[in-house]
């Protein structure tokens, strides 16, 4: 029997061919909600000029750019995909923020940074792609200085019956068909996302994720469900 690829390798292969079209189509397939969710995530981070913020799984740099604009801080964007980072480089330069956004190839599970070297940290759509979310949360918390904000954005499964029904219809039928119409790579994403999100929350729900944050030493936890529960932003402070 063929062994399944480790989640990291799977994510790398999944996103590499999508890099050039990621921003346009991710926004389209989320009905324009994705950029709104990122803006809310960034609004949770209270950093300013002179601070250093780490954005993990930065992809094409959407959150890193928003952070640099909103806070005036120096932002480091880390991702395991060189293809996604190449698009991030071009976007940051176009936005005139190349000097304040540094891009680093690496993995969330073993960050190439010293303990407490960032004033704040964000990550987006990451924990579904790692083998051990609890260990990854500890690694993320390690590089944040005490009192620094950690904030994340992730898809979620709506809890109320009608939004849940609409969500199931979309991820079972709408998303796979719409993705396949765009390209084979987006077709794969369209088929993958529903089971991936459902599977992540079936293993303990949001409570398990919040527990990982607490065990990693992040307190004062808050979260907000967005767009009828299709997205969730979590934030807290490094103890």
Ligand X SMILES: C[S@@+](CC[C@H](N)C(=O)[O-])C[C@H]1O[C@@H](n2cnc3c(N)ncnc32)[C@H](O)[C@@H]1O
| 81 is a contact residue toward ligand X (CB under 6 A) | yes
What residues contact 93, with CB distance under 8 A and at least 6 apart?
none
Nearer to ligand X, 119 or 196 (CB): 196
| 129 is a contact residue toward ligand X (CB under 6 A) | yes
Nearer to ligand X, 23 or 51 (CB): 23
Q: C-beta of 117: minimal distance to ligand X in Å? A: 17
Q: Which residue is nearest to ligand X (CB)?
A: 59
Contact with ligand X (CB under 6 A): which of 73, 76, 120, 130?
130
| 57 is a contact residue toward ligand X (CB under 6 A) | yes
β-bridge pairing 144-155 and 231-238: antiparallel
What residues contact 96, with CB distance under 8 A and at least 6 apart?
none
| 11 is a contact residue toward ligand X (CB under 6 A) | yes
Nearer to ligand X, 11 or 137 (CB): 11
Which residues ranging from 100 to 119 are in contact with ligand X (CB under 6 A)?
A: 107-109
Residue 5 DSSP one-character state = P
| 227 is a contact residue toward ligand X (CB under 6 A) | no
CA 115 to chain centre: 22
| 197 is a contact residue toward ligand X (CB under 6 A) | no
Among 145, 136, 176, which residue's Cα sits nearest to residue 56? Answer: 136
CA-to-CA dists, residue 41 to 129, 150, 177, angstroms: 20, 10, 29
The stretch near ligand X (CB under 6 A) out of 8-16, 44-52, 139-147, 163-171 is 8-16
Using CA atoms of 15, 17, 19, 21 in order, give the dihedral in degrees to the nearest 10. -120
Nearer to ligand X, 99 or 112 (CB): 112
**Torsion angles phi and psi, residue 114, rounded to 5:** -75, 160
| 67 is a contact residue toward ligand X (CB under 6 A) | no
| 211 is a contact residue toward ligand X (CB under 6 A) | no
In whole angstroms, give the CA distance from residue 188 to residue 192.
Answer: 6
Q: Which residues bind ligand X (CB under 6 A)?
A: 8, 11-12, 15, 38, 57-59, 62-63, 79-81, 84, 107-109, 124-126, 129-130
């Amino acid at each position: 029997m063929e062994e399944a690829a480790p989640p990291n390798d799977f994510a790398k292969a999944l996103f590499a061919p999508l890099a050039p079209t990621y921003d346009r189509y991710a926004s389209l397939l989320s009905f324009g909600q994705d950029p709104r969710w990122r803006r809310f995530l960034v609004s949770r981070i209270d950093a300013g000029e002179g601070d250093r913020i780490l954005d993990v799984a930065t992809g094409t740099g959407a959150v890193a750019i928003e952070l640099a604009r909103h806070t005036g801080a120096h932002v480091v964007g880390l991702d395991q995909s060189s293809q996604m980072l190449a698009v991030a480089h071009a976007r940051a330069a176009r936005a005139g923020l190349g000097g304040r956004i540094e891009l680093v190839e690496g993995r969330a599970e073993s960050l190439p940074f010293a303990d407490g070297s960032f004033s704040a940290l964000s990550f987006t759509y990451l924990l579904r792609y790692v083998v051990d979310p609890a260990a990854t949360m500890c690694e993320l918390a390690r590089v944040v200085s005490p009192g620094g904000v950690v904030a994340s954005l992730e898809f979620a499964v709506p809890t109320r019956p009608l939004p849940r029904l609409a969500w199931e219809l979309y991820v079972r039928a709408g998303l796979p068909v719409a993705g396949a119409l765009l390209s084979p790579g987006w077709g794969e994403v369209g088929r993958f996302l529903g089971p991936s999100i459902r599977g992540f929350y079936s293993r303990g729900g949001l409570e398990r994720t919040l527990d990982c944050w607490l065990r990693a030493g992040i307190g004062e936890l808050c979260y907000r469900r967005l767009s009828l529960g299709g997205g969730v932003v979590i934030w807290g402070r490094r103890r």
